[in-house]
Structures are given as C-alpha cells and as structure tokens.
Amino acid sequence: MAFKTGVVVVSGAVVLAFGCLGCDGVDGEDEGAGFGEEEAVRTRSAHENGWNLNGWNLNGWNLNGSRLNNTKLYRDGSQTDYIQLYDIWLPDGDYVNTGSLVGGMLNVGGYTDWEVEDTTFDFKVKEGATTYWKYVWLKFAYPVAGFSDVWEYDMDLQVSLHNDPLCIDQAGKRTRALLLNDVWDPATGAKVSPRPDKAITFACKDGGLAKCVLFGYRPWASKNGTSLADYHQACTRMLRADYCGDGQSHTLLGTPIHVLDQIGIQNVDPNKPYVVEAEWGPNGAVCLNPSNSRLPLPALGCSIPTCGAPFASGGLIQSGKIVP
C-alpha cells in the first residue's frame, strides 16, 4: 500500500504506548503500509496535493496517565482543524509525495533505516481562523533493541523558524516517536475506521500507542498466526485504565501494573505478586474487580462483570494490581 494524499477532517489529538524487549520476531507483518499520493513528483511551484494527518496528533495517553499521544502538531482539538501534508523533502534535497511503513520502519523516496535521517515533512495546518505551515524534521533514526521491525525517530517541529522537540514527556524532556499506520480518535481512544486515506500517526514514546508496541503488541504483526492488532488496541485501553472504552482514564502516571496474555508475549512475573484488576478487549474492560482498581473508582458509565477464572471473560490481556 502507498500513502495517499487528500483532505480528511478527524478530531485532533495525539496517541502513545509502553514496551517489552526480547519479544518474538515478525510472524506475518504488513509488507509496506503506505501514505501520500501515488503519482509522479511535481515541481515545487505546481499544485501540491496533500494528506490530512489529524491522526498524527492522535496518540497521547501516557502509561497510567491521561494522554493518548502528545506531539505538538495541534494547539487544540477542534474538529474544524486539519493537518495536510504537502510534500516530504528527502536527504538529497529532492522531494516526494509518497512513502510507506514496513512494520514500524519508514521507507520514503527509496530511503529507509538510517538513510531517512534529515527528511522533512511539510504540513499546512488550520487551527480556527488561522492557517499556517508546520515542518517536522526527522533528525535521527534508531532501531529498537529486541525487535527486527520497530524503529524510533528523533524529530523536531518547526513553526515560524522556531524548532522544538516534536515529542516531550511529562517532565518536559525530549522523547522519540514511533510511526504507526493507523489513526485514533483522541476523544474515545477508538481506532478510526475506515482509516482516513492511509494516514499515519507519530506515536510519542511516553504515550499508550507507542508503549503498547514496545510491550510487543505490534499492530501490523501476528503471533503464531494470531493478529496483534486487537491486542494493541486492548493494551491502549488497559494502560489508561479506560474501563468503559469511552476514552476516560482512571489511573495515574507511573502506577505499576502486572500484564499477562495467553499468547506468550507478556508472561507471569514471579517477582511481582499481584491480584487481578481486569481483563481487556479492544473496547475496554470485559471484566473488572473494582476492589483491585488502580484508583478508587467513581460511578462508571457502563456495566462490567466481575472477573472469574483467568481469561474466562474472553479478554485478550489481563492487568494486575501489584501487591506490596
């Protein structure tokens, strides 16, 4: 697949995730999910088609925090806003309108792995009554230890000739981003379907979208023939304690949790005794033990049964409250 240009208005926000090293390699990954426009490169002065990337700002919930993603592409989340990609400037000074992701690795203009360093993405941004340009400069590329198909990128955001890190953590320190070939609704945390024009998301590493990739739930891959896409989505609900699957987080940044699944990506940690908090699917918790929640629970806007035998609920991932 190739990235296609076009204007798609999606509510603005950002998205992120958590990680695991030493996970199994790819067992059926997407060979190259794309973004941009499938056409010949145009001269700079010609009409430049673009891509609405409201989704790039769509992953900002931190682990045990309230953000699904935290890039600075947007100032607010108004649904009248948009981000439109115009072109991608390559390290050799040429530019293209197309690119792809091979797993979690960028491939653009024939450049991949470390070769994509010094690539710049040009965006036209509308925020309220203001329209202006933003530029994302991909400065450095790094393979992620423990994976054969996950890369992370050190990026700057330039507005009015002023550069800032694209991604920062809760302490205000620079962090890197992963690239994901999907878009998430910032209000509900749901994956947008159908996916807008093959858009992609910059997933800052301190948020749920990226963290869940690093846990081993790579949404483009599979494990023993089982797709990990739903596991990734369930993980984003779990990390934010989004019990009802409505985007409402019920946890605090830094709260430790035990994570377990039945496909061998996350296993029992004998050094961390725990009690079962909940089991999770793509739309939130499928069972819940309120006495083991990370925070005292308010009245929830949904009804969730109590957990019984492990994974009898049909959940994909189990979360546990660490016992001191």
Helices marked H in the chain:
208-214, 229-239
Give 59-122 as a DSSP string.
Answer: BBPBTTSS-B---SS-SS--TT-EEEEEEEE-TTS-EESEEEEETBEEEBTTB-GGGGTTEEEE
The terminus-to-terminus CA distance of the chain in angstroms comes to 48
- CB-based contacts of 114, cutoff 8 Å, min separation 6: 141
> What pLDDT, on a 0 to 100 scale, did the predictor assign at position 323?
87
- Mean pLDDT check: name the lowest of 50-54, 217-221, 296-300: 50-54
What DSSP character marks residue 65? Answer: S
Across the range 202-225, mean pLDDT stands at 92
pLDDT at 73: 55
**For the chain, domain boundaries:** 33-322
Question: What confidence category does residue 54 fall into, taking pLDDT thresholds of 50, 70 and 90?
Answer: very low
pLDDT at 35: 67
CB-based contact 288:261 (threshold 8 Å): no
**pLDDT classification of 298: cutoffs 50, 70, 90:** confident
Does the pLDDT at position 17 exceed 50?
no
Q: What is the pLDDT of residue 317?
A: 97
Give the list of residues 6+ apart from residue 127 with CB closer than 8 angstroms, or none. Answer: 74, 75, 76, 78, 81
List Cβ neighbours of 291 (8 Å cut-off, separation of 6 or more): none
Tokens of 180: 């994901």
DSSP track, 221-253: -EETTEESHHHHHHHHHHHTT-TTSSS-----T
Res. 219: pLDDT tops 80: yes
pLDDT class of 246 with cuts at 50, 70, 90: very high
Rounded Cα–Cα distance for residues 170 and 177 (Å):
15
Whether 262 shows a pLDDT value over 60: the answer reads: yes
Confidence of residue 161 (pLDDT cuts 50, 70, 90): confident
Q: What is the largest CA-CA distance in the chain?
A: 64
pTM above 0.75, yes or no: yes
Least confident of 36-45, 216-225, 277-286: 36-45
| Residue 24 in tokens | 């199994």
Residues above pLDDT 70, as percent of the chain: 73
Least confidently predicted of 60-74, 124-138, 145-159:
60-74
- Look at residue 57 and give its three-state secondary structure: helix
The reported pLDDT for the residue numbered 172 is 84
Phi, psi of 235 (to 5 degrees): -65, -40
The span from the CA of 76 to the CA of 68, in Å, is 14
